[in-house]
């Protein structure tokens, strides 16, 4: 089977890039012939003879993905024509800018987000971020809309990365569009290589700080790191040597550092900024648990990586966390706007050894049985086969 993947990003940085990296390797390892379209500055170590990476020039000015596909549309089309794929898998929104590619093979699209994130970014953002977000929306919507007037892409299957993501998307559509999308949609969780995660941290000492909490993600308002710091200030009153490791960069960095200083947490809160994924995993592994107070995630790779490391998760009570945390009993969901309850929940999981052990066991089991990349890849292969047979 020959699969062409429109990836743009490919590498263990960010959710979509990580998904593409993991899936390409898993499909190639299973014997599929995979050709992946990416930008030129991707540093991908190709270990599988069945996997071929096609790199194209990419300008480092926003909107990078739109400019990438429009400026390389002729060359990418030639590659597709020569490769003659059985299936085209769009994991980056490239098909809206290259709609004519759908005539070469049946198309499956992976949907990595839903409209709720747009609503939250409008409500919980600075004016500067609001402007940036609006520009992003228009720069992606207008080119795709204009190109669709000339040639509409035919999507055979839409794969959503979570039930929450699918439900939210359907809720924002009119009844007719909702029924059309529902008929072609399915849910496949993003997967990770459990072996790779464990290899990254195998040289670490087995000991960890039992009073430490890790957060990893972009520092945006809707991610809720300010609520985490405020709740953690109460934890420190009980556990004086407790540590909060904040990994990530973003527009909220300065404000969060100032909040930490005002609360007298300079010795308890550590800001790392952006870090490579292997270093992120090492810090999470040496921490006791992961805090994830984000109001929205379509999936949340860091949650699954924490599970692979046997780390329970405390997340904001939201649809994504009910699905990925509460349902599988690998942690706790809590109203993170309630500072008292949030801090008490953190304290409980930091000090209740039996409860921690229960969640830790469930986390590792879920990582291996639900979120391993081989599980995800097998499901995608079934989707590909169904498209080829129906075509």
Q: What is the pLDDT of residue 149?
A: 66
∠345-347-350 over CA atoms, to 5°? 110
Beta strands in the chain (DSSP E): 2-8, 33-39, 51-56, 87-90, 107-111, 157-160, 185-187, 212-216, 243-247, 269-273, 289-292, 313-316, 331-334
Which pLDDT value is given to residue 205?
61
b (16+ CB within 10 A) / e for 181-198: beeebebbbbbbbbebbe
For 381, the token pair is 């292969």
Angle at 262 between CA 256 and CA 267, to 5 degrees: 80
Q: State the pairing for strand pair 2-8/331-334.
A: unpaired
CA distance 132 to 155: 29
Pairing of strands 212-216, 2-8: unpaired
From 275, 164, 255, select the one nearest 214 (Cα to Cα): 275
217-255 per-position pLDDT tens digit = 999 999 999 999 999 999 999 999 999 999 999 989 999
Whether the predicted model's global pTM rises above the 0.85 cut: yes
| 197 touches 311 (CB < 8 A) | no
Cα–Cα nearest to 16, from 49, 42, 50, 46 = 42
d(CA 262, CA 230): 10
* Predicted local distance difference test score (pLDDT) of residue 240: 93
CB 364 within 8 A of CB 329: no
Delineate the domains of the chain, giving CATH numbers in brackets: 2-191+372-390 (3.40.50.2000), 194-369 (3.40.50.2000)
Q: Which of 169, 189, 218, 225 is nearest to 327 (CA)?
A: 189
Distance CA 358, CA 368 (A): 16
- The residues, ordered by sequence, that sit 6+ positions from 331 with a Cβ below 8 Å of its Cβ are 289, 290, 312, 313, 314, 315, 325, 349, 359, 363
Strand partners for 39: 56
pLDDT at 79: 96
Cα distance between residue 89 and residue 379, in whole Å: 14
Q: How far apart are CA 74 and CA 67, in angstroms?
A: 13
Q: Which residues of the chain have pLDDT under 50?
A: none
């Amino acid at each position: 089977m020959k699969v062409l993947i429109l990836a743009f990003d490919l590498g263990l940085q960010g959710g979509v890039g990580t998904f593409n990296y993991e899936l390409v390797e898993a499909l190639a390892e299973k014997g599929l012939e995979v050709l992946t379209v990416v930008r030129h500055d991707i540093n991908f170590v190709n270990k599988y003879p069945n996997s071929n990476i096609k790199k194209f020039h990419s300008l480092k000015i926003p909107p990078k993905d739109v400019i990438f596909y429009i400026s390389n549309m002729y060359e990418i089309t030639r590659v597709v024509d020569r490769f003659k794929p059985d299936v085209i898998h769009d994991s980056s929104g490239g098909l809206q800018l290259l709609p004519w590619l759908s005539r070469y093979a049946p198309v499956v699209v992976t949907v990595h987000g839903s409209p709720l994130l747009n609503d939250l970014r409008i409500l919980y953002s600075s004016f500067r971020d609001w402007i940036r977000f609006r520009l992003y929306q228009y720069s992606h919507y207008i080119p795709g809309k204009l190109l669709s007037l000339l040639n509409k892409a035919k999507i055979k299957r839409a794969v959503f990365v979570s039930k929450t993501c699918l439900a939210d998307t359907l809720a924002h559509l009119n009844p007719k569009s909702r029924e059309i999308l529902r008929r072609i949609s399915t849910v496949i969780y993003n997967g990770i290589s459990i072996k790779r995660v464990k290899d990254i941290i195998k040289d670490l000492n087995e000991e960890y700080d039992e009073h430490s909490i890790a957060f990893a993600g972009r520092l945006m308002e809707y991610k809720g790191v300010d609520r985490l710091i405020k709740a953690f200030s109460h934890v420190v009153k009980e556990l004086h040597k407790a540590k909060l490791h904040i990994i990530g960069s973003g527009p909220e960095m300065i404000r969060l550092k100032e909040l930490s200083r005002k609360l007298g947490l300079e010795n308890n809160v550590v800001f790392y900024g952006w870090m490579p994924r292997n270093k992120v995993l090492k810090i999470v592994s040496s921490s006791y648990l992961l805090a994830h107070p984000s109001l929205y995630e379509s999936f949340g790779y860091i949650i699954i990586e924490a599970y692979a490391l046997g780390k329970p998760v405390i997340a904001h009570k939201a649809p994504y966390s009910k699905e990925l945390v509460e349902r599988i009993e690998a942690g706790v969901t809590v109203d993170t706007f309630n500072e008292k309850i949030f801090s008490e929940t953190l304290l409980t999981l930091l000090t209740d050894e039996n409860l921690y052990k229960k969640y830790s066991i469930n986390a590792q089991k879920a990582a291996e049985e639900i979120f391993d990349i081989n599980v995800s890849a097998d499901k995608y292969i079934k989707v590909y086969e169904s498209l080829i047979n129906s075509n």
